[in-house]
Amino acid sequence: MALNQALSGINAAEDQLNVISNNIANAGTVGFKGSTAQFAEVYAVTGLNLSSVTTGSGVEMTGTEQQFTQGDLETTNGSLDMAISGNGFFVVNNGSGNQYTRDGAFTENSAGYVVDASGGYLQVYPPNASGTGFNTSTLTNLQLNTAQSAATPTSTITISSNLDAADTLPTDTPFSPTDTNSYNNASTLNVYDSQGGSHTATIYYVKTANNTWNANLYIDGNSAGTATMTFNSSGALVSPANGDLSFTPTQPTNGATFPSPMTVNVTNTTQFGTAYAPGTINQNGYEAGVLENVEIGTDGTVTAIYSNNQTTQLGQIAVANFSNLNGLQQVSNNNWVATQSSGTAVLGSASSGQYGDIEQGQLETSNTSDTTAQLVNMIQAQQNYEANSQMLGTVSSLDQALFQAVDRG
């Protein structure tokens, strides 16, 4: 029996060394969680037949227990690199069902989907149809919108300026944009057609009487019409009452269109006795844009940022947790799957409840990256192996001595 006991000890030490070796081998694996070997004593008889002098039959490895402690976060600055600071797992789908990982080294595939190293699709909550919030009742693959952000034509121009009440009527009439003596002041801005093409728009201000001005809008040298503004004796706008001047632009010849009418809001325009000040001029159109960057918030909100300064929310990264982490079954590519022991995944959003924050541009290192503890465990396992080997040699010597004694008898 002693031979078998010593042999089981050698096998157990070898199993422990295999586990430690795997921990050390994955010291550089992103999101890796180390394991410890679990052992139990073996008896040749059942518990009902155990006596006070029964000796065990050795040891066996009963399994491994994973250590889900947090690894260090390492900055990479990759826009699709992510780490969870705290509890939770990323959810990926490889076509056969959901898997769970702490490895946030995601990339974009040829179709624009965000995937892990094995091609599993990162799962997110899709945006609601209303454009506000996310549908947390379903999961979908995260796809980066690599197409251009559609252009929006200019429909409204907003001006906050001051017209000089001391200005006199222009000396030349009628008004002409090519005659600087036929208008008092002018402001220029860019506006956009329905295809995102940029056009030069100029508003010419012509004083026609005390407290009365005409605004003439020209786009690419073509008249869009004239509208009148009236101010009271305090210099405040009184007409139009809603502050909206209406113009009808000449349509471009490239197949694009301008909204008609085009509104110029002058609610905050004044006529004070100070020099003309163009103030602020804004318009609501913009050209088409291409995807420049992806921003991921700590709550997992994924926002596409385009070259035209427009943004679109693409989804919110789903985060999973389990009632029994050690019940998870580890599979390839540093992923886990749920089992009956782990319980079903409890899905939620980062930065809320039991879930940690998502950190963009960082990766979680292996929790075995500090190999000191693993090397200590290795030495202990090696000593166990050597001790059992010594026991095996001792038992062999005793058996040899016994056989020699029997031969002499």
Rg of the chain over all Cα atoms, to the nearest angstrom: 38
pLDDT digits (tens, 9 = 90+) for 43-82: 665 555 555 555 666 777 766 777 788 898 999 989 999 9
Contacts of 112 (CB under 8 A, 6+ apart): 143, 144, 145, 146
| pTM confidence score | 0.72
User: What b/e sequence results for 287-314 when a residue is b if at least 16 CB atoms lie within 10 Å of its CB, and e otherwise?
Assistant: bbbebeebebbeebbbebbbebebeebb
pLDDT digits (tens, 9 = 90+) for 131-176: 889 999 999 999 997 667 889 999 999 999 999 999 999 999 999 9
Q: CA 87 to CA 351: how far, in whole Å?
A: 10
Domain boundaries, the chain: 2-69+368-408, 74-145+294-364, 156-283
Q: Which residue, among 362, 326, 304, has the nearest Cα to 84 in the 3D structure?
A: 362
Question: At which residue do the structure tokens 């995601």 appear?
Answer: 106
Q: What pLDDT does residue 149 have?
A: 82
Query: Of the CATH numbers 3.40.30.10, 2.102.10.10, 3.40.50.720, 2.60.98.20, which one belongs to the domain with range 156-283?
Result: 2.60.98.20
Say yes or no to pLDDT of 24 above 90: no
Q: What pLDDT does residue 360 have?
A: 97
CB 153 within 8 A of CB 343: no
Q: CA 146 to CA 114: how far, in whole Å?
A: 12
Q: What pLDDT does residue 225 have?
A: 97
What torsion, rounded to 10 degrees, do the Cα atoms 66, 70, 74, 77 define?
100
What torsion, rounded to 10 degrees, do the Cα atoms 37, 43, 48, 50 define?
-120
pLDDT digits (tens, 9 = 90+) for 251-295: 998 899 999 999 999 999 999 999 999 999 999 999 989 888 999
User: Pairing relation of β-strands 185-192 and 291-296?
Assistant: unpaired
